[in-house]
Structure 1
Amino acid sequence: MKRPVFIISGVVIILILIAIWVYMLFFGSPKNADDTFADLNLGDTTDTSYIENTDTTDGEAVVDLSSPDRLRQLTTKPVIGFNEFVKDASSTPAILYVEAGTGHVFSIDLETGEESRLSGTTIPSSQEAEITPNGKYIMYRSGEGSGRTYLVGTISSTTNELSTSDLDESIISFSATNDNHFLYAVKTQNSTIGKSYNPEDKTSKTLFTLPFRDATIDWGSTASDSHFAYPKTTSKLESFLFKIDSTKISRLPIDGYGMSASGNNDLVIYSKQDNGEYKTFFYNISEDLVTKHVLTTIPEKCAFSTNNSELVICAQSTINNNLNIPDSWYSGETYFADSIWQTTLAGSATMLINTESESGRELDIVDIDLGVDDKNIYFLNKNDKTLWLYERVQSLSNPS
């Protein structure tokens, strides 16, 4: 090929390429951003501090309340906090609960079984929550170890958002009260300080100071009620129990290896290792009298009646003579298939339900809570943190 022809051909090809480039630049832009940028598979990198309420279950029945079954699983989601809520005397009770991990708040109507989401605000890595009885305030713990944070959220009556305020303290324990406040404990260098928090005006005040740091606290129903505190439970160390009133802190004649306890203003139920066996006892505060409980159970599986101070609801299954109880249960090495019992200081014990026979599942019951008039018995299954309801025909003060 002659050189002039070769040069002309090359120039023509270059001009064609330039024309194509100009066309693509000005007339060939993609119709959306997804055509422009490669999918780098980075996952969702948006801010998740708020999630729009797109839950398709809102307003739908998620619990069959028409069945004759009195034991019902209320959630398939893991739950970190719940409370029965009754707006007024003419209102149908609802159960409010907080979903683990997200901190989203849901309500289940206990007449229709319909579920609705009250808050879609995400509290990342939510691990624990307490809801006030008026259904308005929630205290959260999120994160683990040194990354733990605590905050109080206010549920809006008009939007799906949760307004929050941080509590910048080294909190180790907290609880909601019957008068819609929160009680919490703060660990210091040499002590544990108990405080109350008013979510209305966001103020706190000191209630008591304990002379040790790693305290487990069994909170009363209000700041003025009796509270009970003891060092962290382990079967390897001997522990002791303090009773905390509004005016003083007194040590009770209760101690032992693996000791844990729960109480009210009149009575304490506690368990401990005793001569190679794990045993449960009642302590009558006013009479300074200890009696052996008819059942053997872990006090964290019990709740006191609000109508009768000497009546206790406990979850219980056979506990073998294991020197590692309750440590092995705390760690998850040991688990139980519980029945629910009604027990009294007088020594009676009535089985209300064998949950394994009724549900076909092994329910390791924790966080028992009694509804209005003690009629509904709520609890979590420790194995998967699902929320359950046992509905009584009558309140606890009457025969079941």
Structure 2
Amino acid sequence: MPVAGYGVFKKERYKEVPIPPPALPLTKGEEQGGGQKPAPPQTEFVTALRYVDRVTGNIYQTFADKIEERKFSGTVIPKVYEALFGNSGNSVIMRYLKTDNRTIETFVGTLPQEILGGDSTGENELRGTFLTANITDMSISPDGKSIFYLFNSGETTVGTILDIASGKKTQAFDSAFNEWLSSWPGSKTVTLTTKPSYVALGYLYKLDLTAQNLVRVLDSVYGLTALLSPDGKMVLYADNSLALNIYHTDTKISESLGVRSLPEKCVWGKGSDIVYCSAPKIVLGTNYPDAWYKGEISFDDQVWKIDPVLGTASILLDPGTVNEGVDVDGTKLTLDSEEKYLFLINKKDSFLWEMDLK
């Protein structure tokens, strides 16, 4: 199933316990005494996923360790092209084009609570609200409780924070420049990168949400794409050759990692000590990153594990050589909270993939 987006969260379920052997017949004395009350069933919290069907907007869910796909919602929203999940998987943000094929709608919905052990009908209804039309970019906070989104108001680009649970909106940014991409790597930090092109110098800024000040972090890189570490001390970035580098924000020194990819094909570990990347086996000479964004070129990737401190990198998996062999152009990488699983979407067909890291 092609998916528009997904969320990873912890979900409670009943533990599977071994079936005990048949009990021996009771003696006469035991029959009189009465037995012990049965113990309540044991539960566990495990990694689960919810994801949005790109075609219908229906939501499905499964566990990471045991694929048991179940339909969760029946609300139809055709042709969703982007979806995010927040509030531990209990809220969803869907983006799609209206029937005029020009207006971008953004719907923020609340998912009904599940009953432990209860079977969902698969036809749960989403209820929610719409944000302002034509939001140009959005990102979700690390705790999943808020989203930062950009939209144009006249000749100004406005950045707003939405508290998903309460619906409260707070303006945090405005700019006369209107070509921004956002990311939310730390609890109080949003990054803003100028939209990349191979012919344009790119700039990365850090927005402090507490002080509400904007600081330039990196500049004058052709085709700049970037991903700030959760602790804010390192920037994973690439130029128009797709060469990945680490920029240290304290020393202002850049170091090459010897791997070619795009930061949006990577994810930082929460300790800022590991980076996982879906990196192409072969990078042909062309206009990057424009050609990849436009779909003029597609990659066949390997999954890499990179230590940005030591500057070492190793290949974990080549999807093209596993089982039947599928070529993957990975994007939207995510780790679960324990970093036992790596998830990504294959840009070639929008299918969701999972990799067991342990």
Q: TM-score range by the shorter chain?
A: 0.7 to 0.9
Q: Structure 2, unaligned stretches of length 5 or more?
A: 13-42, 115-122
Structure-2 residue corresponding to 1:228: 191
Which residues of 2 match residues 34-53 of structure 1 at below 5 A?
Answer: none
C-alpha contact 1:185 1:192 (8 A) present in aligned 2 = yes
Which residues of 2 match residues 1-400 of structure 1 at below 5 A?
Answer: 77-87=1-11, 90-143=44-97, 146-157=102-113, 160-177=124-141, 178-222=143-187, 224=188, 226-246=189-209, 247=211, 248-264=213-229, 265-273=232-240, 277-306=241-270, 308-320=271-283, 322-345=285-308, 346-359=310-323, 360-393=325-358
Cα deviation, 1:306-339, whole Å, max 9, x if unaligned, reads 1x21311111123435241111111111111111
C-alpha contact 1:102 1:122 (8 A) present in aligned 2 = yes
In the alignment of these two chains, the number of paired residues is: 311
C-alpha contact 2:183 2:191 (8 A) present in aligned 1 = yes
Cα deviation, 1:41-97, whole Å, max 9, x if unaligned, reads xxxxxxxxxxxxxxxxxxxxxxxxxxxxxxxxxxxx111111112135922321111
Paired letter, 2:307: T
Q: How many Å separate the matches in 2 of 1:168 and 1:151?
A: 9
C-alpha contact 2:205 2:218 (8 A) present in aligned 1 = no
Q: 1:320 to 1:337 in 2, by over 3 A?
A: closer
Q: How many Å separate the matches in 1 of 2:90 and 2:346?
A: 25
C-alpha contact 2:6 2:49 (8 A) present in aligned 1 = yes
Q: How many Å separate the matches in 2 of 1:256 and 1:189?
A: 29
Which structure: larger Rg?
1
Q: Which of the pair is proportionally richer in helix?
A: 1
Q: How many Å separate the matches in 2 of 1:364 and 1:319?
A: 12
C-alpha displacement of 1:147 = 2.0
C-alpha displacement of 1:353 = 0.8
Q: 1:321 to 1:117 in 2, by over 3 A?
A: closer
Q: How many Å separate the matches in 2 of 1:134 and 1:256?
A: 37
C-alpha contact 1:188 1:213 (8 A) present in aligned 2 = no
Q: Which moved more, 1:371-380 or 1:209-218?
A: 209-218
Paired letter, 1:281: N
C-alpha displacement of 1:214 = 1.4
Q: Structure 1, unaligned stretches of length 5 or more?
A: 1-76, 394-400
Q: 1:258 to 1:134 in 2, by over 3 A?
A: same
Q: What SS does structure 2 have at the residue aligned with 1:90?
A: strand
Paired letter, 2:168: T
Cα deviation, 1:130-165, whole Å, max 9, x if unaligned, reads 001511111111117622111101111267111021
TM, length-normalised to structure 2:
0.82
Structure-1 residue corresponding to 2:17: none
C-alpha contact 1:108 1:116 (8 A) present in aligned 2 = yes
Paired letter, 2:2: P
Structure-2 residue corresponding to 1:61: none
Q: How many Å separate the matches in 1 of 2:133 and 2:103?
A: 12
C-alpha contact 1:83 1:133 (8 A) present in aligned 2 = no
TM, length-normalised to structure 1:
0.73
Identity within the alignment, %: 25
Paired letter, 2:8: E
